[in-house]
Amino acid sequence: MRWALVKVCLAVTTMVVVAFAVPLGLVIREMARDRAFSNAEREAAAVAPALSITTDRDQLERVVASAGSDAGMAVHIPASGDTAAVDLGRQRAAADDIATVRRLGRASTTEVPGGSTLLQPVALSSGEIAVVEVYIPEAEVTNGLTTAWAVLAGVGIALIVGSVAVADRLGVRMVRPAQRLVEGAHELGEGKLGARVPEEGPNELRLAAVAFNSMADQVVQLLANERELAADLSHRLRTPLTVLRLNAASLGDGPAAEQTRAAVAQLEHEVDTIIRTAREAKPQTVAAGPGAGCDAAEVVRERMAFWSALAEDEGRKVRVAGVDRPVRIPVARADLAAALDALLGNVFRHTAEGTAFAVDVHNGEDAVIVLVSDAGPGISDPEAAMARGRGSGSAGSTGLGLDIVRRLAESTGGDVRIGSSVLGGTEVRIWIQLDGREPVRRGHRGSVRRRRPGRLVSTFNRPRSLP
């Protein structure tokens, strides 16, 4: 593209220069010729007044000498009566040409060796016609013509070179963004998802770069969503795995029971491996669209009906509050169920049998708070638990449970906090913003909250004042 543009510009500029330079050169040559003949006419006109007064040879020689052209001027006076013909200066024109000018009475030019002559008729007082001959050398006709043509040629060459240079720069300006676009496409095709193209160059290439970068962002987002979906689906398998593990624990002793428990442990290990692998890229959560949402109270009742049966088998006390009337939230039903299963599964996984737990739903003016608390030993390092919820799993946990909960809350403008519950164990608070605005809060999103159990009830009644 670059050399094609240079060739086109070279051809066009050359044609333009030739189209203007050739006629201009001819005009300059005609102007130089006209200048030379105009000077000759002025010299001949300077002698004409003297010829109209006298034909004396001496006086005419002085007039010719004073004109400064005695070497190139000749005067031809015809004989009249007793006066003989007078010829001053060197005659270069043919006698026939002089006779013709005298007969016709008008000026004429004729070619002579080394140049041209101007034959100018002048009427004498006697009525005869004298002829003034002015010699015009060829060098005078072409005086300054070579310089003018050289300047004209230089200007033309400069225009051609300049146009080629400009075309080359324009070609580079067009080709480089196109090359970067090609390189970015190759890198993206090779799996380098961070490949982006600078938005520069002509408007069309800038638009192409914007479209490419948008496409690359969409590809990254789609891949992230796929990984997150795989991780979420894998994590949801942990809910039936928890049930299966609890049932396997109640099988007693024996080879079949040990094999069942080993198979459950192996399956759980494989699910954890899938979750960690799928979470290599950090996905982004897309908030629910207009009109989307669910009844949080109904979802909590449904999931607690499932987990209550398991809790009864393990002798756990269960308390549910705030689900006696509908509580609409801008969260998909499946997402809220997955978040609750993740937190309740952690309760069964990380607390001993017989440990009580509770789920409370508090409906405020602009936010809904879901509290999941237990009477277990608590979390020794809540900040590390939240960090696992934001990064890769560690300390025997994938970290995806808290990450699912956090993303659900943040998709509405809310947050998640970990603190101490009134039951003596861990409390996870999910703040779900109802209007999509940033909540008014003092801490950081996804932060750790510690408070005294005695303040729990008053805080529940005022969702806006939660720390």
Orientation of helix 57-66 relative to helix 2-53, angle to 10°: 150
Residues 138, 248: one domain?
no
Per-residue pLDDT of 301-311, as tens digits, reads: 998 988 888 88
- What integer best gives the mean pLDDT of the chain? 77
Summarize the confidence of residues 449-463 as an average pLDDT.
37
Residues 275, 424: one domain?
no
Summarize the confidence of residues 380-399 as an average pLDDT.
60
Residues 264, 342: one domain?
no
- Give me the pLDDT at residue 428, please: 93
Residues 364, 393: one domain?
yes
- Give me the pLDDT at residue 445, please: 41
Q: Give the domain-ending residue among 258, 284, 310.
A: 284
Tell me the residue type at 94. Answer: A
Tokens of 108: 């004429």
132 has which bridge partners? 75, 120
pLDDT bracket for residue 276 (50, 70, 90): low
pLDDT at 297 over 60: yes
Closest CA to 330 of 302, 291, 272: 291
pLDDT at 286 over 60: no
- The residue ranking higher by pLDDT, 445 or 320, is 320
Per-residue pLDDT of 171-185, as tens digits, reads: 777 778 888 888 888
Integer Cα distance of 235 and 228 in angstroms: 10
Residues 408, 357: one domain?
yes
Residues 303, 274: one domain?
no
pLDDT bracket for residue 321 (50, 70, 90): very high
Tell me whether residue 203 is in a domain.
Answer: no
pLDDT at 361 over 70: yes
Tell me whether residue 163 is in a domain.
Answer: no
Residues 36, 142: one domain?
yes
- Give me the pLDDT at residue 35, please: 85
- Give me the pLDDT at residue 284, please: 42
Q: What is the CATH number of the domain that holds 16?
A: 3.30.450.20
pLDDT at 446 over 70: no
Residues 128, 41: one domain?
yes
Per-residue pLDDT of 15-34, as tens digits, reads: 888 888 888 888 888 888 88
- Give me the pLDDT at residue 360, please: 95
Integer Cα distance of 243 and 23 in angstroms: 99
Tell me whether residue 117 is in a domain.
Answer: yes
Q: What is the domain extent for residue 233?
A: 221-284
Q: What is the CATH number of the domain that holds 274?
A: 1.10.287
Closest CA to 92 of 119, 112, 65: 112
Q: Give the domain-ending residue among 146, 173, 206.
A: 146
Summarize the confidence of residues 67-93 as an average pLDDT.
74
pLDDT at 14 over 70: yes
Tell me whether residue 174 is in a domain.
Answer: no
Strand order in the sheet with 357-363: 318-321, 357-363, 367-374, 426-433, 415-420
Tell me whether residue 115 is in a domain.
Answer: yes
Per-residue pLDDT of 115-154, as tens digits, reads: 888 888 888 777 788 888 888 888 888 888 888 888 888 8
pLDDT bracket for residue 460 (50, 70, 90): very low
Please give the distance of CA 141 from its chain centroid, rounded to a whole number. Answer: 61
- Give me the pLDDT at residue 431, please: 93
CB burial of residue 280 (10 Å; 0-12, 13-18, 19+): exposed
Residues 246, 136: one domain?
no
Tell me whether residue 215 is in a domain.
Answer: no
pLDDT at 395 over 80: no
pLDDT at 265 over 90: no
Integer Cα distance of 92 and 73 in angstroms: 10
Tell me whether residue 167 is in a domain.
Answer: no
Beta-sheet pairing, 415-420 with 367-374: unpaired
Q: Give the domain-ending residue among 284, 307, 338.
A: 284
> The pTM is what?
0.41
- Give me the pLDDT at residue 3, please: 74
Per-residue pLDDT of 81-110, as tens digits, reads: 666 777 777 788 888 888 888 888 888 888
Residues 302, 443: one domain?
yes
Integer Cα distance of 444 and 452 in angstroms: 20
Residues in Cβ contact with 203 at an 8 Å cutoff, skipping those fewer than 6 apart: none
pLDDT bracket for residue 359 (50, 70, 90): very high
What SS3 string covers 200-256? CCCHHHHHHHHHHHHHHHHHHHHHHHHHHHHHHHHHHCHHHHHHHHHHHHCCCCCHH
Per-residue pLDDT of 205-232, as tens digits, reads: 888 888 988 888 888 888 777 776 766 6
Residues 45, 124: one domain?
yes
Tell me whether residue 385 is in a domain.
Answer: yes
Query: Among 41-55, 217-231, 273-287, where is mean pLDDT lowest?
Result: 273-287
Residues 53, 121: one domain?
yes
Summarize the confidence of residues 184-198 as an average pLDDT.
83
Tell me the residue type at 21. Answer: A
Percent of the chain topping pLDDT 70? 79
Integer Cα distance of 93 and 111 in angstroms: 8
Q: What is the CATH number of the domain that holds 332?
A: 3.30.565.10
DSSP string, 410-431: HTTT-EEEEEE-TTSSEEEEEE
- Give me the pLDDT at residue 369, please: 94
Domain count, the chain: 3
Integer Cα distance of 314 and 354 in angstroms: 6
pLDDT at 346 over 80: yes
